[in-house]
Amino acid sequence: MKRDRIYSLPHDRVGSFAFDEQVVEVFPDMIARSVPGYASILAMIQQLAARFAQAKTNVYDLGCSLGAATLLIQRQVPQDCVIHAVDNAPAMVERLQMKLQHSERQTGVAEVRVHQADVCQFPMTNASFVVLNLTLQFIPKDQRAALLTAIADAIVPGGALLLSEKICFDDLGQQSLLNDLHHDFKRANGYSDLEIAQKRTALEDRLLPETMQTHIDRLETAGFDCVAPWFQCFNFASILAVKAESAA
């Protein structure tokens, strides 16, 4: 795993963050050192996949990046599920396809199909478990409600969505405190103040966080029956949204 040094030297101009070849090379290190609680969220995705994925249904990892969640899900779901790993970044998709080719074909596990596509346009049906792990925050705000409604419509009774996001806060003191704690987390993981500042600049027009309540309200409006925030570490959080079982 290559160490993330993308922003270690001064940039004359810091452009918008992109999931390109440069990021792909260091992405596992970057996300582990940047997102507090990331390993805990992945572990819970694996556990939830085992609970909610149903036989002969589809499972979707939307914004799959290098497939960390996809590969954990594959070990847990019924063999007759199909896992759709979807990402719009060509570099991410190419690297994940290479990774799967090296390991294919495992016996006794569900099939994984990798798609380079816009998650907002990707057709979904007969879904029992859907993952949006640090993905919605990169989608324009005016498209988020429609995506969540499409997910809710595609999920079968008893199925679930796992949504993880960077969040913001209405209270300015809370926002400032948790931002500072997040930056302390990055420093503790070896990032310099220069790296933190330059990456923040790169992300400011790409990663657009919202409050926890905004996410909860949108999920309820989309049609989920139970919306349960289950995790928060500083300014990162995860929510489980479940469709009710059909009435007997």
Q: Annotated binding site for S-adenosyl-L-methionine, which residues?
A: 38, 63-65, 87-88, 118-119, 133, 200
Q: Which helix (H) or strand (E) holds 131?
A: strand 127-133
The helix, strand and coil proportions of the chain, stated in percent and rounded to the nearest 5, come to: 45, 20, 35
Which of 137, 161, 135, 158 shows the shortest CA–CA distance to 149? 161
Distance CA 116, CA 63 (A): 10
Distance CA 98, CA 180 (A): 38
Residues whose CB falls within 8 Å of the CB of residue 94, separated by 6 or more in sequence, listed in order: none
Residue ranges at the known binding site: 38, 63-65, 87-88, 118-119, 133, 200
Q: Return the SS3 of 171.
A: coil
Structure tokens at 142: 């005016």
- Where in 24-135 does DSSP place strands (E)? 58-62, 82-87, 111-116, 127-133
CB atoms within 10 A of CB 11: 12
